[in-house]
Structure 1
Amino acid sequence: MVRNVPQSLSVGGSGRGGGASSSSHGAGASINMDSQMQVAEQLVLDLRYPVRRERALLELSKKRELFQDLAPLLWNSFGTIAALLQEIVFIYPVLSPPNLTPAQSNRVCNALALLQCVASHPDTRMLFLNAHIPLYLYPFLNTTSQDLWNI
Structure 2
Amino acid sequence: MAASQQQSSPENERLYQWIVELSNPEIRENALLELSKKRESVHDLAPMLWHSFGTIASLLQEIINIYPAINPATLTAHQSNRVCNALALLQCVASHPETRSAFLQAHLPLFLYPFLYTVSKTRPFEYLRLTSLGVIGALVKTDEQEVITFLLTTEIIPLCLRIMESGSELSKTVATFILQKILLDESGLSYICQTYDRFSHVAMILVRSVAQDQIPTLENGKIKCNVFLKSQKRDFRTSLVEFLPGGGWSFSLAAGSADYEL
What amino acid is the match of 2:13? Q
Task: Kindly provide the CA deviation profile for residues 106-137 of structure 1, in whole angstroms up to 9, marking residues without a partner as x.
Answer: 10000000000000000000000000111101
Q: Which consecutive segments of 4 or more residues in structure 1 shift more than 4 A?
A: 146-151
Q: 2:76 aligns with which of 101, 107, 110?
A: 101
For 1:60, the equivalent position in structure 2 comes to 35
Q: CA deviation at 1:150?
A: 7.5
Task: Identify the range of structure 1 (121-130 vs 97-106) with the bigger mean alpha-carbon deviation.
Answer: 97-106
Q: Does 1:117 align with 2:92?
A: yes
Do 1:44 and 1:74's aligned partners in 2 also have CA atoms closer than 8 Å? Answer: yes
For 1:131, the equivalent position in structure 2 comes to 106
User: What is the rounded CA distance, in whole Å, between the counterparts of 1:108 and 1:150 in structure 2?
Assistant: 20
- In structure 2, the gaps of 5 or more residues are 127-165, 169-262
For 2:57, the equivalent position in structure 1 comes to 82
- In structure 1, the gaps of 5 or more residues are 1-25
- Which structure has more relative contact order (CA 8 Å, sep 6+)? It is 1
For 1:91, the equivalent position in structure 2 comes to 66
User: What is the rounded CA distance, in whole Å, between the counterparts of 1:136 and 1:43 in structure 2?
Assistant: 23
What amino acid is the match of 1:139? P
Q: Does 1:37 align with 2:4?
A: no
Q: CA deviation at 1:146?
A: 5.7
Q: CA deviation at 1:96?
A: 2.3
User: What is the rounded CA distance, in whole Å, between the counterparts of 1:150 and 1:123 in structure 2?
Assistant: 32
Aligned residues: 126
User: What is the rounded CA distance, in whole Å, between the counterparts of 2:38 and 2:120 in structure 1?
Assistant: 33
User: What is the rounded CA distance, in whole Å, between the counterparts of 1:146 and 1:68 in structure 2?
Assistant: 35
Q: Does 1:140 align with 2:139?
A: no
Task: Kindly provide the CA deviation profile for residues 67-92 of structure 1, in whole angstroms up to 9, marking residues without a partner as x.
Answer: 10100010000100000000000001
User: What is the rounded CA distance, in whole Å, between the counterparts of 2:116 and 2:83 in structure 1?
Assistant: 14
User: What is the rounded CA distance, in whole Å, between the counterparts of 2:59 and 2:26 in structure 1?
Assistant: 14
Task: Kindly provide the CA deviation profile for residues 21-64 of structure 1, in whole angstroms up to 9, marking residues without a partner as x.
Answer: xxxxx322211112111110110010000111000000000111
1:129–1:83 CA distance, 2 compared to 1 (3 A): same
1:72–1:97 CA distance, 2 compared to 1 (3 A): same
TM-score (normalised: structure 1):
0.78
Q: Which has the larger radius of gyration?
A: 2
User: What is the rounded CA distance, in whole Å, between the counterparts of 2:77 and 2:4 in structure 1?
Assistant: 38
Taking only the aligned residue pairs, the percentage that are identical comes to 58
Q: Secondary structure, in 3 states, of the residue corresponding to 2:50?
A: helix
Q: CA deviation at 1:66?
A: 1.7
